[in-house]
Amino acid sequence: MITTQNAPASTERLSVNPPNRLLYGPGPSQVHPRVYQALAKQVVGHLDPYFFEIAQGVQKKLRTVYGTTNDLTLAISATGSGGMETAVSNFVDPGMKVALFSAGFFADRIGEMAKRHGGNVVRFEKPWGEIASDDETRDFIRRERPSVVAFVQAETSTGAFQPSKAICEAAHEVGAIVIADCVTSLGAMPVEIDKNGIDIAYSCTQKGLSCPPGLSPITVSPRAVERLKSRKQPNRSWYFDLKLLLDYYEGKKYHHTASASLFYALHEGLSLIEEEGLENRLERHRQANREFVKGIERLGLEMHVPADHRIWNLNTPRVPQGVDDAKVRAHLLQKHGIEIAGGFGPLAGKIFRVGIMGPFATTEGVNFFLDRFEEALRESGYRR
Ligand code: PLP
C-alpha cells in the first residue's frame, strides 16, 4: 500500500516531527519500514566487535549488488559526493590526464574534483539527455590516451544511462583505469562491475538502496588496487585515503567514528535486496519504468530520453508547453505530500524528475503517482 505510514509513528514528546512525505523524487527515495527499525537500534562504538561484524556483512552484501568479487569494497562515511571524492583523490594525481564523458551536472562535478586534485581534464561532451556511442567513447579514449577515464552511469540530472563496456575496454587498451559514478544505478539497474570491467565505482544509500543518505558504497578492482599501492605521494585528502580506511575496516585501527546507525540501516536495506533477489529487484524496476512511460504517454507527455538509454528508476518526462513545472510540483507536495524534482541547468523548466524506486517500483506505486500527477497537471492548466 502506498502510504506515509511506513515512516515511524510520530511521538508527541520528540522535538522533531517531520511532515509525511512520499518520496518520488530523484533521491532520497522512500525508506523501507525495516530500515527505520534498524536505524532505531542501540548505537555501539565504532571499534566494537559488533560494529565490525555489521561492517563486514555490509561489504559482503555490497559485492553482490555491485556484481563484483573485489576485495576492496566498503561503505565510506559520506554521501555520494564523498564516494566521488574518494575515487578521485585516490586515483588522480597532479598532472595526470583524466578523460571525462560529460552529458550532465554530475559528470561536471567529477571534472571539478579532478581539477582540484591537479588532474588535466579532457572532456567529451554531449547535450544533456544524450549518451556517448560506443564508437565515440573508443575514438576519444584512443586519441587522448588518458591515465584515468571517468563517466556517470546513470546521470540523474537528465535521466540517461551510459553503457560501460566499450568505455572500459578502450580504457584498458591504453592502460587507463575507469571510475564510474553508480550513485543512481546501484540497486535498481544492472551496474555489473566485473562484467563491464569498471575499476572504481561509488554510489550512495538514498536512491536504489532505499536507505537514508549518509554512506557511500565504493568498490575497487585489483588492477586499481595495484595503482593505489604504487602511489608515491600520500592522498592529499586524509579523510578519504583508502589506505587509511583499510587500516580501519581490516586492521580495526581507529580512523574516524563511523555511524553504527547508518551501517545498521544499510545492512538491513541490503538484506531486503538479498531476500528479494537482485535479478528480481532489477526486473521490478524495469517493469515499473515501462508502466510509468506508458502512463506518461497516455497523458500526452513525452520522455526526454530515447527509449534505449533511459534510467529505469529515474524518469524525465518533458514539461508540456504552457505548463509551469513549479506549480505542478507545489500541488503534488501541498495536496498529497508527494516530492518530485524539476530539471536544472539547461533542462530547468523543461523536465520533471520522477524517481520510481525501492518500495514504490510496483504497478501500484506507479499508478498511485500517475493519478495524482495527472490531477496536478490539469490544476496547472494542462489540456491535451
Ligand atoms: N552523482 C550522481 C549521479 C548523483 O545523482 C548525485 C546526487 O544526486 C551525486 C553524485 C552526489 O550524491 P550526494 O548528493 O549523495 O552527495
Model confidence over 231-269: pLDDT tens digits?
A: 989 999 999 999 999 999 999 999 999 999 999 999 999
Q: Specify the amino acid at residue 56.
A: Q
CATH of 277-379, one of 3.90.1150.10, 3.10.110.10, 2.40.170.20, 3.20.20.190: 3.90.1150.10
Distance of alpha carbon 90 from alpha carbon 156, whole angstroms: 24
Q: To 5 degrees, how large is the angle CA 158–CA 135–CA 317?
A: 20
> Which residue from 175, 170, 218 is spatially nearest to 196, judged by alpha carbons?
170
Which H helix or E strand runs over 99?
A: strand 97-102
With a cut of 70, say whether residue 67 has pLDDT above it: yes
Q: Enumerate residues lining ligand 1, CB below 6 A.
A: 27, 79-81, 84, 106, 152, 156, 181, 183-184, 204, 213
Q: What is the pLDDT of residues 14-36, one digit of tens each?
A: 999 999 999 999 999 999 999 99
Buried-state track 336-368, b at ≥16 Cβ within 10 A, e below 16: bebbbbbbeeebeebbbbbbbbbbbbbeebbeb
With a cut of 80, say whether residue 162 has pLDDT above it: yes
Lowest mean pLDDT, pick from 8-12, 66-70, 305-309: 8-12
What integer is the mean pLDDT of 76-93?
98
Q: What ranges do the domains of the chain cover?
A: 33-273, 277-379
DSSP state of 76: E
Query: What value does the mean pLDDT of the chain take?
Result: 96
> Which residue from 21, 12, 15 is spatially nearest to 212, judged by alpha carbons?
21
What the block records as the C-alpha cell of 156 is 540523474
pTM of the shown model: 0.97
Distance of alpha carbon 291 from alpha carbon 294, whole angstroms: 5
What the block records as the C-alpha cell of 315 is 524518469
The pLDDT confidence band at residue 13, using thresholds 50, 70 and 90, is confident
The pLDDT confidence band at residue 2, using thresholds 50, 70 and 90, is confident
Q: Which of 29, 151, 184, 216 to mutate to test the pocket of ligand 1 (most atoms within 8 A of CB)?
A: 184
DSSP state of 317: B
Distance of CA 124 from the midpoint of ligand 1 (Å): 20
Q: Specify the amino acid at residue 294.
A: K
Lowest mean pLDDT, pick from 4-8, 103-107, 182-186, 203-207: 4-8
Fold of 33-273: Aspartate Aminotransferase; domain 2 (3.40.640)
Residues β-bridged to residue 201: 180, 219
Distance of alpha carbon 150 from alpha carbon 116, whole angstroms: 15
- CA 206 to ligand 1: nearest atom: 15
- CA 104 to ligand 1: nearest atom: 3
Distance of CA 80 from the midpoint of ligand 1 (Å): 5
Res 11: pLDDT: 62
Distance of alpha carbon 107 from alpha carbon 179, whole angstroms: 11
Q: Which of 106, 157, 179, 191 to mutate to test the pocket of ligand 1 (most atoms within 8 A of CB)?
A: 106
- CA 82 to ligand 1: nearest atom: 16
- CA 79 to ligand 1: nearest atom: 15
Distance of CA 216 from the midpoint of ligand 1 (Å): 10
Q: Report CA-CA distances (Å) from 35 to 65, 142, 186.
A: 17, 45, 17
Q: What is the pLDDT of residues 283-340, one digit of tens each?
A: 999 999 999 999 999 999 999 999 999 999 999 999 999 999 999 999 999 999 999 9
Res 4: pLDDT: 61
Q: What percent of the chain has pLDDT over 70?
A: 97
Distance of alpha carbon 111 from alpha carbon 109, whole angstroms: 5
Res 384: pLDDT: 80
Q: Which of 77, 81, 216, 340 to mutate to test the pocket of ligand 1 (most atoms within 8 A of CB)?
A: 81
Distance of CA 207 from the midpoint of ligand 1 (Å): 9
With a cut of 60, say whether residue 5 has pLDDT above it: no
Q: Say if residue 22 is exposed, middle or buried (CB neighbours under 10 Å; 0-12, 13-18, 19+).
A: buried
Atom 12 of ligand 1: nearest residue by CA position = 80
The pLDDT confidence band at residue 342, using thresholds 50, 70 and 90, is very high
Distance of alpha carbon 30 from alpha carbon 124, whole angstroms: 35
